[in-house]
Amino acid sequence: MTYDVQHWIAGAETPGSGSTQPILNPATGEQVGTLHLGDASTVDRAVEVAAAAQREWAQVSLSKRTQILYRMRQLMIEHTDEIAEVITREHGKTVADAKGEIARGLETLEFATSITQDLKGGFSENVSSGVDAHTMRQPLGVVAGITPFNFPAMVPFWMHPVAIATGNAFILKPSERDPSASSIVARLYQEAGLPDGVFQVVQGGKEVVDALCAHDGIAAVSFVGSTPIARHVHQAASATGKRVQALGGANNHAVVMPDANIEFAAAQISSGAFGSAGERCMAVPVAVTVGDVHERFLEAIAAEAKKLRVGPGSDPSTDMPPVITADAKARVLRMTDEAEQAGGRIVVDGRGLVVEGFENGNFVGPTVITDLDATHPTYTDEVFGPLLVVMHVDNFDEAVALVNSSPFGNGTAIFTDSGHYARRYQEEIQVGMIGVNVPIPTPVGYYSFGGWKDSLFGEHHAHGPEAVGFYTRQKAITTRWPAQNESVESSMSFPTH
């Protein structure tokens, strides 16, 4: 039996514009649900409701807002199994991985529960005699978030807890591939006591995204997804005067220095390359061996890849799940074929894998390729699948140059025993998030997340302190209370202190 997924507007399930799209289970290829798509009129309705709700929400005391967020946290913990199950069904990832993304998303909710601290302004007495100065931060109004398929719980949580805690109303447009987690979150916010209209969900694709970017009633857009769409959203929403943060794609490199513990590095890079079938923006699709460790690393990573059990995310013994769609699988297979035709050595071949009982699933095995030219698209492009390219350079400087030649700058890692090279790497690399002997250096919720270059368009990183800056506007107030009989001669010169 399949289910329907609708919009969540004004605190209730709301039907769509009439067009629908199937929701598929990546492990079986079967339709599990029907998504009701929105259009510009759905966005109009959501913005109208959000604007009215936000005016009242911004007046709700900080302690009351915080209490609602605490209740939401508790409800999310109680409903983790239910949300993880729908994520596994629609996204494909393992249940343990789905629970992991929920826990990481909750870090931002936990950060938002101390918004009382982050919204404190500054105060200075007597900036001039009898004159005081203070600052305060106010919400922007109605803000929107547009999110990718690969983290249907965590990435929206990078946005809405801080947006809501700071007094905004938030409209979420989740990925059309795995939309159900957001519907559950909407229901739980209502149960937690959030007034209707402060958190809403509009389902759909390009039409809804473009309507959100164009709408005059929306003050800011947060986007996470692929680089071409991030660039498009940044341009479209900026053109209508909105504040925009648009996080794009990635092609993260892990550098393996000659002094590294090779077995440790291989195990860590295996989890970065093949965890969640490589469909993480902080995945490690490229390893760069430095000096004479290349063949040793290939042996170690091949051993790790061959250990992995590929299967449906619902099976607790599965290490690596299917990719999201048949197209995504075809892309990994094509990029493997093209690498081979260009002279690449296929060290571990993920092609031709069949999972018994799941013959129609989007399964592809872990793949390791080396001896590829640095201009080959299988190396330069974001594959977003379980495919690791192992490049080789002679020394540290060449490794830095190779990593910095990528147009992406999301995450990177260095595996080494040398503090000297680890420190130089942090300084010289043009990447936003860096791991030292850590393959997926995703910052915790009370730091901010963001890449450089084609991995982020806009000034603000996501979640943590930068999210408070993104979702608020500051005022600086200068105050003087003259005595009733105080007289001062007027001066035409610019005031100094």
| Residue whose entry in the numeric block shows the structure tokens 């408070």 | 468
Q: What is the DSSP letter of 263?
A: H
**CB-wise, 209 or 431, nearer to ligand NAD?**
209
**Which of 92, 224, 233, 99 has its CA nearest to residue 153?**
99
Pick the stretch among 92-100, 201-209, 308-316, 469-477 that binds ligand NAD (CB under 6 A): 201-209
Q: Is 173 in the site for ligand NAD (CB under 6 A)?
A: yes
Count residues binding ligand NAD (CB under 6 A): 28
CA distance 188 to 72: 7
Q: Which is nearer to ligand NAD, 94 or 289 (CB)?
A: 94
Write the DSSP assignment of 466-489 as a string of letters: HHHHHTEEEEEEEEE---TT----
Question: Nearer Cβ to ligand NAD, position 313 or 451?
Answer: 451
How far is CA 355 from each of CA 176, 283, 466, rounded to the nearest angstrom? 26, 23, 44
Q: Is 281 tagged catalytic?
A: yes
Q: Which of 247, 281, 339, 372 is catalytic?
A: 281
Q: Which is nearer to ligand NAD, 169 or 431 (CB)?
A: 431
| Neighbour count for residue 184 (Cβ, 10 Å) | 18
For ligand NAD, the closer of residues 366 and 458 by Cβ is 458
Determine which residue in the list 42, 147, 168, 472 makes contact with ligand NAD, applying CB under 6 A. 147
- Whole-number Å distance between alpha carbons of 72 and 77: 9
Out of 42, 166, 168, 175, point to the residue binding ligand NAD (CB under 6 A): 175
Among positions 25, 54, 150, 268, the unique one binding ligand NAD when judged by CB under 6 A: 150
Closest CA to 144 of 227, 204, 226, 201: 201
- The residue among 43 and 247 lying less far from ligand NAD, judged by its C-beta, is 247
Of 53, 143, 172, 224, which one interacts with ligand NAD (CB under 6 A)?
224
Position 447, amino acid = Y
Taking the C-alpha atoms of residue 198 and residue 221, their distance in angstroms, rounded to an integer, is: 15
Minimum CB separation of residue 44 from ligand NAD in Å reads 18
Among 19, 81, 193, 206, binds ligand NAD (CB under 6 A): 206
Instruction: Choose, by CB under 6 A, the member of 248, 272, 322, 409 that binds ligand NAD.
Output: 248
Q: What is the CA radius of gyration of the chain?
A: 25
For the CB of residue 186, give the shortest distance to ligand NAD in the complex, in Å: 16
Nearest distance, CB of residue 105 and ligand NAD, angstroms: 12
Task: Draw the binding track, 21-40, toward ligand NAD (x: CB under 6 A; -: no contact).
Answer: --------------------
Give just the sign of the alpha carbon dihedral 328, 329, 334, 337: positive
Give Cβ neighbours of residue 196 (< 8 Å, ≥ 6 apart). Answer: 10, 11, 12, 49, 53, 190
User: Containing H/E element for 222?
Assistant: strand 220-224
Per CB under 6 A, the segment of 39-47, 92-100, 220-228, 359-367 that binds ligand NAD is 220-228
Q: Which one among 98, 229, 335, 388 touches ligand NAD, defined by CB under 6 A?
A: 229
Q: Is 268 in the site for ligand NAD (CB under 6 A)?
A: no
Question: Under the criterion CB under 6 A, does residue 140 sit at the interface with ligand NAD?
Answer: no
**Least distance to ligand NAD, CB of residue 451, Å:** 6
User: What is the residue whose two structure tokens read 């993104």?
Assistant: 470
Give first-to-last CA distance, the chain, whole Å: 73
Q: State both tokens at 200.
A: 């809403």
Q: Which residues within the stretch 378-417 sit at the binding site for ligand NAD (CB under 6 A)?
A: 382, 384, 410
CB-closest chain residue to ligand NAD: 225
By the rule CB under 6 A, 209 interacts with ligand NAD: yes
The residue (of 223 and 421) whose beta carbon lies closer to ligand NAD is 223
CA angle 205, 209, 210 (to 5 degrees): 120
Q: Candidates 62-70, 219-227, 297-305, 334-342 — which segment interacts with ligand NAD by CB under 6 A?
A: 219-227
Helices (H), 372-418: 377-380, 396-404
Confirm or reject binding of residue 458 to ligand NAD (CB under 6 A).
no
| Sheet of strand 123-128, all strands in order from the earlier edge strand to the far edge | 123-128, 131-139, 472-480
One of 148, 161, 278, 344 touching ligand NAD (CB under 6 A): 148
Q: In this complex, which beta carbon is closest to ligand NAD, that of residue 111 or of residue 396? A: 111
Identify whether the C-beta of residue 381 lies closer than 8 Å to the C-beta of residue 251: yes
- Contact set for ligand NAD, span 318-357 (CB under 6 A): none
What type of residue is 466? E
Buried b (16+ CB within 10 A) or exposed e, 126-153: eeeeeeebeeebebbbbbbbbbbbbbbb
Contacting residues toward ligand NAD, per CB under 6 A: 146-151, 155, 173, 175-176, 205-206, 209, 224-226, 229, 232, 247-250, 281, 382, 384, 410, 451, 455
Q: Which residues are catalytic?
A: 281
